[in-house]
Amino acid sequence: MELQQLRYVVAVAELSSFTKAAARCFVVQSALSHQVKALEKELGVTLFARTSRRVELTAAGRAFLPGARASLDAAERAGDEAAAAVGEVRGRLTVGMIPTVTAVSVPAVLKEFRDAHPHVRVALQVGGSDTIAAEIAAGETDVGLLGLPAGREPRGVDWRQIGSDRLVAVLARQHRLADHESIGIDDLAQEAFADFPVGSPGRAQSDLAFSAAGISRDVPFEAMSTEILLDLARENLAVTLLPSRYVRADDGLVAVPVVDGPSRVEYLAWSEFNLSPAARAFLRLL
């Protein structure tokens, strides 16, 4: 069994196509098909059910795939560790981040990292803090930039606090509160809100603050995209609450401090278990 054969099997499984897998692997389809058939013969099982139009993993193929991926990952990791031993960092780095990172400039950090380690391929994934932390714990993401309500720390990962901020009310310029220097949370009691999905850490920051004030608020609009939240506020459809350092006022929006409003803490998160050379180098930089 050769690593190249495993790469071919994984490519076919992910793309459900011998043609597309061959293109990804930069080989002719006949050569890839021959290698897969040779591996099936060696194993004594059929990995793929094939017709002229469909390719699917068989039960044996589904059982084989996790081990094939693990073997490829181990081989790649071995090469990365060998290179790191002589001072060259390479491989892949997966960074999970919330959409409202303000404690660090992600583009600036990545430029510095890229200048120092040009052979590392970086994948950026935007999502919720809980999801990112779970992916780090599962070994699917290397490093995370999280935002959580004040008083709540990341779970299941190693972490370091890197910043904190208060949320501000983002309003359309024609909103009745737009000309106020500051407002209280009770001033927003009758407003319609646009916020992150219920249950997400980004939403929890505001929900906890309103709950502590004994105020029930109406949230008719939910989205993970901050651009959508800002657009809804710009159209005066809703008020949204976002970190003060994230919001940039424009012709259609103003940001008003909420004196007793919610706050959030940003964290750098990772797992010390089996850190890759690229992840170690990224953490050293931060």
Q: Return the amino acid letter for 25.
A: C
Closest CA to 208 of 263, 136, 279, 278: 263
- The pLDDT-based confidence of 234 (bands split at 50, 70, 90) is very high
CA dist 120 and 107 (Å) reads 15
* Mean pLDDT computed over every residue of the chain: 91
Question: Does the pLDDT of residue 178 top 80, yes or no?
Answer: yes
173-174-175-178 Cα dihedral, nearest 10 degrees: 40
pTM > 0.75: no
User: Once rounded to an integer, what is the mean pLDDT over residues 1-30?
Assistant: 89
- What share of the chain in percent tops pLDDT 90? 73
User: Once rounded to an integer, what is the mean pLDDT over residues 60-83?
Assistant: 79
User: Once rounded to an integer, what is the mean pLDDT over residues 232-252?
Assistant: 91
Question: Does the pLDDT of residue 2 top 90, yes or no?
Answer: no
Question: Does the pLDDT of residue 218 top 90, yes or no?
Answer: yes
Q: Are the CB atoms for 59 and 32 separated by under 8 Å?
A: no
The region of weakest confidence among 65-74, 144-153, 269-278 is: 65-74
Q: Return the amino acid letter for 91.
A: G
DSSP letters for the chain: --HHHHHHHHHHHHHT-HHHHHHHHTS-HHHHHHHHHHHHHHHTS--EEE-SS-EEE-HHHHHHHHHHHHHHHHHHHHHHHHHHHTT---EEEEEEE-TT--SS-HHHHHHHHHHH-TTEEEEEEE--HHHHHHHHHTTS-SEEEEEEETT---SSSEEEEEEEEEEEEEEETTSTTTT-S-B-GGGGTT-EEEESPTTSHHHHHHHHHHHHTT---EEEEE-S-HHHHHHHHHTTS-BEEEETTT---BTTEEEEEBTT--EEEEEEEE--TT--HHHHHHHHH-
CA dist 25 and 46 (Å) reads 21
- The pLDDT-based confidence of 115 (bands split at 50, 70, 90) is very high
Closest CA to 88 of 107, 116, 51: 116
52-56, 91-95, 218-222 — which one is most confidently predicted on average?
218-222
Question: Does the pLDDT of residue 260 top 60, yes or no?
Answer: yes
- The pLDDT-based confidence of 86 (bands split at 50, 70, 90) is low
User: Once rounded to an integer, what is the mean pLDDT over residues 134-162?
Assistant: 94
The β-bridge relationship of strands 55-57 and 48-50 is antiparallel
Q: Are the CB atoms for 188 and 181 separated by under 8 Å?
A: no
User: Once rounded to an integer, what is the mean pLDDT over residues 154-182?
Assistant: 95
